[in-house]
Amino acid sequence: MSKQNETGGKVRVKRISKDNMQAFLMILPFLIGFIIFSYVPIVYILRYAFTNYTGFGDAKFTGLANFVRIFQREPDFWMSLVNTVVLSLGKLAVEIPLALLLAVFLNKKLKGVSFFRVTLFMPAIISAAIIGLIFSLLFASYNGMINSMLQNLGIITKPINWFNTKSKAMLILGIASVWQNYGINMIFFLMALQSIPKELYECAAIDGATGPKCFFKITLPMIAPIFQSILLMAIVGSLKVCDLVISCTNGQPGGTTEVVMTYIYKSFFGKSGRNIEIGYASAMALITAIFLGIVTIIYLKATKKLKELEG
C-alpha cells in the first residue's frame, strides 16, 4: 500500500476517495430506505401512542390516557398477550424436542436420510396464511378430514367441533404452528450436529459411553451455543405469530384465540367490529414492543451460560 502511494502519488489518493464516495453512494439509497421502513414506523408509534388520533382530523395529546385505559379497561388485550405466551410455550415444548430428535436421526449415516431431510423441510416453504387455511379445513367440524379419520378408527363416535371452545381452537393453532416450523428447526439442529467433531464420539465409545449418555454428555453441550440462537429465533418468531392465526381461527370463538399481533392489527385497521383508534393501537403496539424487548433481554441473560459452553 505504502509503495503504491509513493509511485501513484496524488492520482491514486484521489482515486481512492472517489471509490469510497462511490461505495457510499451505492449503499445510500438502501440506508435511507432502511431508516424509513425500519425506524420511522417506530417513531410513528411513539408519536401517536400518547394521542387520541383516529386516522382523521387532528391528533390531540392525551398524555398517558391510552395506557391507563389499556391497564384498567382492556382485558382483551391482556388476554391476547397471555394467549400468545401460552401458545408459544406450548408449541415450543413440542416443536424443539421434536426437531432435535429428528435431527439426531437424520444425522445418523443411514440410507435415504437426504430424502427425509428434503421432505420434512417442505412445510417451511409454504405460506403461513395458507397453512392456517389448510388446517382450518382439515379440522372442519362436519366435513373435516381429521374428524372422519378419527371416526373411521373408532376413536370418536360423533364429529368434534374443533373451533367452538378456546382450548380446542388453541390446540389446533399449536398443531398448525408446530407443523409449519419443525422442519426448519430440524435443519438448524442438523447443521449444529454436523459441526461436532467425530473424534469426540470415538473417544467416548472407547470410554464405554453409549447412546443417551453420549447425547447428554457430548451432543447437547457441544450444540449449546447454536441451540441458544435457534431457541431465541423460535421464541421471537412464535411471539410474533399473526398470519397463521388470522387465517386459521381469526380469533374465533368469540375473540378468545386472538394473539397480540392480530389484536393490534385489528385495532389499527378497525377489523372485527373495532373502532379505528390509531393512537390507542399505537399505545398497545408500544407495550407489546417493550414486552418483546424484555423477553429477549431476559432470555439472553438467562441463557448466557449456554453461549459460554463453547470452546
- Residues 67 to 126: which contact other proteins by CB under 8 A? 102, 105-106, 108, 110, 113, 116-126
Find the binding residues for other proteins in span 154-173 (CB under 8 A): none
Residues 250-279 binding other proteins (CB under 8 A) are 250, 261-262, 264-265, 268-269, 278
Site for other proteins in 200-239 (CB under 8 A): 226, 229-230, 233
Nearest to 99 by CA among 286, 233, 287: 233
- Tell which one of 87, 128, 193, 306 touches other proteins (CB under 8 A): 128
Pick from 162, 163, 177, 183 the residue near other proteins by CB under 8 A. 183
| Binding-residue total with other proteins (CB under 8 A) | 93
Residues paired with 51 in a beta bridge: 61
153 contacts other proteins (rule: CB under 8 A): no
How far apart CA 197 and CA 82 sit, in angstroms, is 42
**DSSP code per residue over 180-240:** HHHHHHHHHHHHHHHTS-HHHHHHHHHTT--HHHHIIIIIHHHHHHHHHHHHHHHHHHHHT
Q: How far is the CB of 286 from other proteins (least distance, A)?
A: 9
Burial of 7 per CB tally in 10 Å (0-12, 13-18, 19+): exposed
8 Å CB contact between 131 and 176: yes
Residue 20 sits in the site that holds other proteins (CB under 8 A): yes
> Out of 148, 164, 194, 275, which residue is the one contacting other proteins (CB under 8 A)?
148
Q: Quick one: which of 197, 192, 194, 196 has its CA closest to 230?
A: 192
Q: Per CB under 8 A, does 294 bind other proteins?
A: no
Which residue lies nearer to other proteins by CB, 62 or 189?
189
Among 85, 94, 171, 191, binds other proteins (CB under 8 A): 191
